[in-house]
Chains A and B, each alone.
Chain A
Amino acid sequence: MDKTAFWQRLEEAEKETRQRKGRIGWFCSYTPVEIISSCGLLPYRLSGKEGTTLYADSFLHSSLCFFVRGCLEKVLKEEKDLEGAVLVNSCLAMSHLHNALQKYSSLAFTYLLDLPRHAFQPAVEYWAQGLRKFHRALCEYRGIEVNEKGLWEQIDLYLDNRSRLQRLYSGREEKLLVDGHELIRLVEAFSILPPAVFQELIAVYSHDYLHGTEELAGPRVFLTGSAMPSGLARLIHELGGVLVLDNLCIGRRMLQFTGEPEEGEDPYSFLARLYLQREPCARMKFAGDRLAGLEEIIKKYHIDGIIFFYLKFCDPWYYYGQLLKEIIKDIPVLVLEGEYSAAATGQLRTRISAFLEMIG
Chain B
Amino acid sequence: MLELIKRYLSREKAPDILRWPFTYSLGQAMIRGRLLRFPYRAAAMMVEYGLEETKKVYNRRLPSVWASAFFPTELLHALGIPVFSPEVAAALVASFGFQEHFLKEAESRWWGRDNCSFHRCAIGGLFSRYYPQPAAFCVSSHLCEGAVLMFSNLARIYKRPSLLLDVPVEQDSDALRYVTTQLRQLISSLEEITGLSLQHEKLEEAVANAEAARRAMQKVNDLRLHPASPLTAKEAFSYLYLYFTGLGSRAMPRVYETLAGELQERIRESEQKKDPGRHFRFKLLWLHLPPFYRNNILGYLEEKGARVVFEEFSHVYWESMDPGRPLESIARRMLAHFSYGPINRRIEVIKELAAKYNVDGVIHFSHWGCRQSCGSLRIIRDALHKEGLPFLALDGDCIDNRNYAPGQVQTRIDGFLEMLA
Contact = CB atoms under 8 A, between A and B. Distances in A.
B372 A319 contact: no
Contacts of B343: 96, 99, 103
Interface in A168-213: none
A130 interface: yes
Interface size class of B (residues with CB under 8 A): 35 or more
B153 interface: yes
Contact of B376 (A91, A99, A125): A99
A117 B164 contact: yes
Contacts of A100: 376, 378-379
B378 A123 contact: no
A328 interface: no
Interface residues of A, number: 42
Given A316-B145, A325-B110, A61 B374 contact: yes
A173 B30 CA distance: 68
A91 B145 contact: yes
Contacts of A285: 152, 164, 166
Given A116-B168, A285-B166, A318-B115, A64 B375 contact: yes
Interface in A252-293: 283, 285, 288
Contacts of A125: 178
Contacts of B374: 61, 63-64
B182 interface: yes
Nearest to B167: A117
B169 interface: yes
A96 B371 CA distance: 9
A98 B169 CA distance: 13
B21 interface: no
A229 to B, nearest CB: 19
A318 B110 CA distance: 9
B163 to A, nearest CB: 10
Contact of A283 (B145, B168, B185): B145
B349 to A, nearest CB: 15
B111 interface: yes
A312 B366 CA distance: 18
A122 B181 contact: yes
Interface centre among B110, B157, B164, B376 (most CB of A within 10 A): B376
Contact of B170 (A64, A98, A130, A323): A130
B379 A122 contact: no
A141 interface: no
Contacts of B178: 116, 122-123, 125-126
A63 B149 contact: no
A285 B156 CA distance: 12
A315 B145 contact: yes
B371 A92 contact: yes
Contact of A315 (B110, B115, B170): B115
B342 A315 contact: no
A129 interface: yes
B141 interface: yes
Given A61-B366, A283-B145, A315-B371, 12 more contacts: A59-B378, A64-B374, A93-B375, A95-B341, A96-B371, A116-B166, A116-B168, A122-B181, A125-B178, A126-B175, A285-B164, A288-B152
Interface of A: 58-61, 63-64, 89, 91-93, 95-96, 98-100, 102-103, 112, 114, 116-118, 122-123, 125-126, 129-130, 283, 285, 288, 312-313, 315-316, 318-319, 321-323, 325-326
